Amino acid sequence: MKTTTLLLFLCLSSYAFASNPDTLIVEDDSSAMMFYEPDTVEFDESFDANVDSMLNLYYVQESLEGNLVPAETEKAIPVFDDDTYRSRIESIPSVAGLTYNNLVKRYIEVYTVKKRSQVEVMLGLSEHYFPIFDDIFDYYGVPNEMKYMSIIESALNPRAYSRARAVGLWQFMYGTGRIYGLEVNSLVDERNDPIKSTHAAAKFIGDLYNMYGDWLLALAAYNCGPGNVNKAIRRSGGKKNFWEIYYYLPRETRGHVPAFIAAAYTMNYFKEHNLEPANIDFPVITDTIIINNKLHLQQVSDVLNIPMKHLRDLNPQFRYDIVPGHIKPYALMLPDEHVLSFIDLQDSIFSYKDSVLLNPKLVNQPSHSTHVPDMPGSDYVKLTYTVKSGDAIGLIAQWYGVRLSDISYWNNIHKNRIQAGQKLAIYKHKNVADKFKDINTLSYAEKQARIGKTVSSANSTVTSASASDNNNSDAGFIIYTVRSGDTLWDIAKQYPGVSDTDIMHWNNITNAGSIKPGQKLKIKPRS
């Protein structure tokens, strides 16, 4: 009883100086830190957004189509004690001073329990990206384990962007990217370039280490800036240990280092948690061609028969699909098997539809690479789309050839939630707006046909079949019973126009990985 009272007193005392704390920290006589925190921790919203957009990458979708990451319900989820976690973290070769505590444990649980499917995709992507990071970090003398920054910064998504306008695998702000030599202009954003941005990240984190002499403080400064870390050091009385200045740091930065340590743990001990890397069909062997003339990716795609989305994923730095080689040489990355064909057919490639694809007046807004949403200028026409039952914002974006993030920004939509009857503003350049004016009047099948997709008779009948099997409700919803192995993505694919986000919204689900066999879900199919 006395021990409990003492701990409560220490916690309350600690709360007195903590600024809006998520976790209370006290120190015992041996100066070992103890953490008292809520049962759950949350990443910044941008992390979930980056994970979602990572799953939309062409090579991820193609790899998972028909071969989804096994659902959590099909595998046992191991639980380990603190001594095991601590021993494993201490066994990770590291000079960064990886520490185990209850806060790190909470983030480990996020990776190994709550976001298992997403982590398996990141494990698959890491097989492509981590060797690149290791090679570049070794060149600059940056510790190997710092590559795990990319997990918490971007979820290994080269197109990631945050509300703070940080971009790419390493989440560079505009100014910092320019300082470290990354080109950012209307046509090119090298913050999205996996190779160049990694060179910049290695130099940046190395400079921060030279400033503080501590890798965890360097990580904190990478997230919130040296000014905030310096302020935290001053407010703590000059202490230069992350855990000692923890409460003086901005709230979003406090979880950055624990999440990094948890990511390092998960990437090293995923097998022990029954996690398996997703088989991502990323072109492991690639090569680059130096482009000295103006080139559109569509020219390469059509002549060499490479999917456009594939080219975009390999070259995310070209914002409008245009390589401005007429200004200066740029490297174009291609799957190795297409390099010789490009060389043989380059005259045909450069001349293919050049008067159309490279006409400045016909260039639309960026359709693929990371950009910060903005309100279109006077050259754009406002169109109005009325949301139909079963519509998903991602589908609407495809029908109009715009970015999902643009629709969200233009209409002040949060977490991609839309509802039937809602009117959405869509902006298209005046040169092409007429082609999209009738979208609002088309049927679902007609809209899908516009983007080259057909609605099969099997799909069109699944609604009625499911309704009879699962007791259709008066409100237009059907009841779907979750089966072993189901994911929300699996279920949504059975109903045209229904997304996993819709199902989460209809059923008040906050964690996509939390569904269980036997659970009843409300679904409103397209009428």
Q: Rounded distance, CA 452 to CA 95, Å?
A: 52
Together in a domain, 139 and 74: yes
What pLDDT does residue 3 have? 36
- Residue that finishes a domain, picked among 303, 336, 362: 362
The domain in which residue 301 lies consists of 286-362
Over residues 471-493, the pLDDT tens digits come to 333 457 888 888 866 777 668 76
Instruction: Write out the two tokens for 69.
Output: 């990451």
Mean pLDDT calculated for residue range 353-369? 68
With 70 as the cut, is the pLDDT of residue 400 above it? yes
What pLDDT does residue 57 have? 63
- Residue that finishes a domain, picked among 432, 450, 468: 450
- Residue that finishes a domain, picked among 362, 394, 416: 362
Q: CATH number of the domain that 470 lies in?
A: 3.10.350.10
Q: Which residue has the higher pLDDT, 377 or 251?
A: 251
Does the residue 185 lie in any domain?
yes
Mean pLDDT calculated for residue range 19-37? 35
Q: Work out the pLDDT band at 56, boundaries 50, 70, 90.
A: low
Together in a domain, 130 and 191: yes
What pLDDT does residue 475 have? 57
Over residues 60-101, the pLDDT tens digits come to 665 555 444 444 445 688 889 999 999 999 999 999 989 999
Least confident stretch, 47-56, 175-184, 271-280, 282-291: 47-56
Q: CATH number of the domain that 88 lies in?
A: 1.10.530.10
Together in a domain, 49 and 110: yes
Together in a domain, 91 and 191: yes
Mean pLDDT calculated for residue range 317-337? 92
Does the residue 101 lie in any domain?
yes
Least confident stretch, 62-76, 136-150, 229-243, 341-355: 62-76
Together in a domain, 153 and 212: yes
Q: Which among 139-143, 312-316, 466-470 has the top mean pLDDT?
A: 139-143
Domain count, the chain: 5
Task: Quickly list H helices, 255-383.
Answer: 256-269, 297-304, 308-314, 336-351, 354-357
What pLDDT does residue 510 have? 64
What pLDDT does residue 39 have? 43
With 60 as the cut, is the pLDDT of residue 189 above it? yes
Spatial contact of 297 and 315, defined as CB atoms under 8 Å apart: yes
With 80 as the cut, is the pLDDT of residue 356 above it? yes
Does the residue 337 lie in any domain?
yes
Amino acid at position 198, single letter: T
Together in a domain, 244 and 290: no
Q: Which residue has the higher pLDDT, 125 or 456?
A: 125
* H-helix or E-strand spanning residue 447: helix 444-450
Q: Which residues contact 408 (CB under 8 A, 6 or more apart)?
A: 373, 393, 414, 416
What pLDDT does residue 401 have? 84
Q: Is the dihedral of CA 169, 170, 171, 177 positive or negative?
A: negative
With 50 as the cut, is the pLDDT of residue 370 above it? no
Together in a domain, 203 and 100: yes
Does the residue 370 lie in any domain?
no
Together in a domain, 422 and 484: no
Does the residue 266 lie in any domain?
yes
The HSE-up count of residue 99 (CA atoms within 13 Å, CB side) is: 16
Mean pLDDT calculated for residue range 167-176? 91
Q: Rounded distance, CA 110 to CA 460, Å?
A: 37
Together in a domain, 58 and 205: yes
CB atoms within 10 A of CB 347: 8
With 90 as the cut, is the pLDDT of residue 134 above it? yes
Does the residue 278 lie in any domain?
no
Report pTM.
0.62
Together in a domain, 291 and 385: no
Instruction: Write out the two tokens for 501.
Output: 């986000």
Which of 504, 512, 510, 502 lies closest to 391 in space, CA to CA?
Answer: 502
What pLDDT does residue 123 have? 92
What pLDDT does residue 346 have? 92
User: Tokens 């993505």 correspond to what residue?
Assistant: 489
Say if strands 286-291 and 330-335 run parallel, antiparallel, or are unpaired.
antiparallel
Least confident stretch, 125-139, 332-346, 413-427, 433-447: 413-427
Together in a domain, 121 and 193: yes
With 90 as the cut, is the pLDDT of residue 301 above it? yes
Mean pLDDT calculated for residue range 277-305? 87
Instruction: Write out the two tokens for 502.
Output: 């819709």
Mean pLDDT calculated for residue range 460-471? 36
Together in a domain, 399 and 505: no
Could you tell me what percent of the chain has a pLDDT over 70? 74
With 60 as the cut, is the pLDDT of residue 19 above it? no
Does the residue 372 lie in any domain?
no
What pLDDT does residue 215 have? 96
Does the residue 367 lie in any domain?
no
Burial 34-60 (b: 16+ CB within 10 A, else e): ebbbeeebebbebbbbbbbbbbebbbb
